[in-house]
Amino acid sequence: MSHFEFSREPFTPERYRSRVADPVAGGYASFEGWVRNHNEGRGVQRLEYEGYEALGVKEGDRIVAEAFARFPIAKACCVHRLGVLDIGDLAVWVGVTAAHRDAAFAACRYIIDEVKTRVPIWKKEHYAEGDSGWINCEVRSADAPAGSALP
């Protein structure tokens, strides 16, 4: 079973919690990312997540495999929403179990941090004023053009 997956439908952590159950586990750490109503001083009304799923699942699985290599954990799983989300909706869930809590906390933190920077997921914010924007893709004119990203 994959350790990382996308969900096009709303889900609850309870639906996936049993996947990280393990008899050796003495601790369970989880992280829930929720949609908040503001970003960088602007009011946000809803979000859209778009994902390159075939590569995203591979990269997400690699991240969880790295967590297993770095920390003595029992089970780990991450699920990320796609589609249109409202304020307060669950956007991402990470669950990790381990014999001891230090490893569970550390691995959970590692997984969410890496997922945010490496998995091909894009977030479009819809603002209170009616406009919208893709986060991290808007480059001010003073910044370098896309072509300069190439070697």
Partner 1 sequence: MAPSPQANSIAVSIEYFATLREHVGRPREELRTTASTVGELYAELDRRYAFPALGRVKVAVNDEFRDWSSPVRDGDFVVFIPPVAGG
Which residues of the chain form contacts with partner 1 (CB under 8 A)? Answer: 33, 49-52, 54-55, 58-59, 80, 91-92, 112, 115-124, 134-137, 139, 141, 143-147, 149-151
Least distance between partner 1 and beta carbon 127 (Å): 15
In eight-state DSSP terms, residue 19 is: G
Using the minimum distance from each CB to partner 1, give the nearer residue, 29 or 121. 121
Using the minimum distance from each CB to partner 1, give the nearer residue, 23 or 150. 150
Q: Distance between CA atoms of 132 and 124, rounded to whole angstroms?
A: 7
Least distance between partner 1 and beta carbon 135 (Å): 4
Residues sharing a CB contact under 8 Å with residue 76, sequence separation 6 or more, in sequence order: 3, 20, 64, 67, 68, 94, 95, 96, 97, 107, 108, 111
Using the minimum distance from each CB to partner 1, give the nearer residue, 72 or 120. 120
N- to C-terminal Cα separation, the chain: 37
